[in-house]
Amino acid sequence: MRRWVIAFVGLVLAGCSAASVAAPSASAVASASAAPAASAASSTTTATVASTTSSCTAPAQAITELTEGPYYKAGAPQRATLSTTGVAGTPLVLTGYVLSTSCQPIANAKLDFWQADGNGNYDNSGYTLRGWQLTDANGAYRLETVIPGLYPGRTEHIHVKVTVNGKTYTSQLFFPGVSQNAGDSIYAANMLIALNSATTTPRTGTFNFIISV
Ligand code: FE
């Protein structure tokens, strides 16, 4: 108990700029271009939030709520792998965390993703490229999908609903280097995925959802 209290006080004193989260898994961190460094070994979940990262630095990075758009479907299955055999698009593994504005990990946050395939088409009759998952004890998630294609009027994007403590934040994720970002009225720069520059398959990227709780 005494060690836990010390660890917690240390976190508070460290503040947002110095706090971080432990790696969700070796595979996720190995593929993530902006994954935080692994923390020192610890016997408690709370104490794993101990090392440094540049990925959670200010409340200004909190999630920007954006339109749901016309293609959301309730009832998607719980699954972290959205891409299935035959789905068009470049494979993508997206990893990251759901964090509070004070950079504390949020476990059991619900992330409900839906998106177009690589040709810009949604599955509106079934649930292809749709699914939800919960963050783990470290607030981490891992999504296996494809890079979405363009469709008329829209740049590349992945839709998401983040639910924490019963409140849902609807937003969209975007991709760097897409020329259509500049002309998309929904685009928000702070919802940009950090995409690994390596072009190996699958592509890998990271994004941390910052929630005001
Ligand atoms: Fe869309």
Structure-model confidence comparison of residues 127 and 18, the more confident one? 127
Per-residue pLDDT, 58: 56
The answer on pLDDT for 84 being more than 70 is yes
Asked if the structure places residue 17 within a domain, the reply is: yes
Tell me what pLDDT residue 145 has. 98
- Which amino acid, one-letter code, is at 98? V
Asked if residue 179 belongs to a domain, the reply is yes
Going from the Cα of 151 to the center of ligand 1, the distance in angstroms, rounded, reads 8
Please report, for residues 24, 40, 135, the alpha-carbon distance to residue 45 in angstroms, rounded to integers and kept in the order given: 12, 12, 13
pLDDT (0 to 100) of residue 68: 98
| Confidence (pLDDT) at 30 | 31
Residue 62 lies in a domain: yes
- Residue 57 binned pLDDT confidence (cut-offs 50, 70, 90): low
Taking only the tens place, the pLDDT of each residue in 188-198 is 999 999 999 98
CB of 155 within 8 A of CB of 148? Answer: no
Which residues crowd ion ligand 1, with CB under 5 Å? Answer: 69
Mean pLDDT rounded to a whole number for the chain:
80
For position 36, what pLDDT does the model report?
A: 42
How far is Cα 81 from Cα 24, in angstroms, rounded to an integer?
16
* Tens-digit pLDDT profile for residues 35-56: 343 333 333 333 333 333 455 6
On whether residue 203 sits in a domain, the answer given is yes
pLDDT score for 25: 40
Using the mean position of ligand 1's atoms as its centre, give its distance from the Cα of residue 60 in Å.
25
Average pLDDT over residues 47-73: 70
Contact 170, 83 (CB under 8 A): no
170 CA to centre of ligand 1 in angstroms: 12
Q: Is residue 49 a part of any domain in this protein?
A: yes
Ligand 1 center to 133 CA (angstroms): 19
What's the rounded Cα separation, in Å, for the pair 201 and 125?
29
What is the structure's pLDDT at 43? Answer: 33
- 158 CA from centroid of ligand 1 (Å): 7
First vs last C-alpha separation in the chain: 25
CA of 72 to the centre of ligand 1 (A): 8
At residue 45, the pLDDT reads 36
Predicted confidence (pLDDT) per residue in 92-137, tens digit: 999 999 999 989 999 999 999 999 999 999 999 999 999 999 999 9
Beta bridge partners of 143: 94
Structural domain for 104, as ranges: 3-22+43-211
* Ligand 1 centroid distance, CA of 189 (Å): 16
Q: Is pLDDT larger for residue 49 or for residue 166?
A: 166
Q: What is the pLDDT of residue 187?
A: 98
Residue 29 lies in a domain: no
| Residue 28 belongs to a domain | no
Percent of the chain with pLDDT over 70: 72
Give the helix ranges, DSSP H, for 100-174. Answer: none
**What is the CATH number for 90?**
2.60.130.10
- Give the Å distance between the CA of 157 and the centre of ligand 1: 6
Domain count, the chain: 1
Q: What is the pLDDT of residue 41?
A: 33
Determine the distance separating the centroid of ligand 1 and the alpha carbon of 140, expressed in angstroms: 24
CA of residue 114 to ligand 1 center, whole Å: 8
Q: Convert the pLDDT of each residue in 143-153 to its tens digit.
A: 999 999 999 99
Looking at residue 213, its pLDDT comes to: 84
Confirm whether 198 is domain-assigned: yes
Q: Please report, as a single letter, which amino acid is at residue 114.
A: W
Joined tokens for residue 65: 């709520």
Threshold 0.85, pTM exceeds? no
The CA 25 to ligand 1 mean position distance, Å, reads: 30
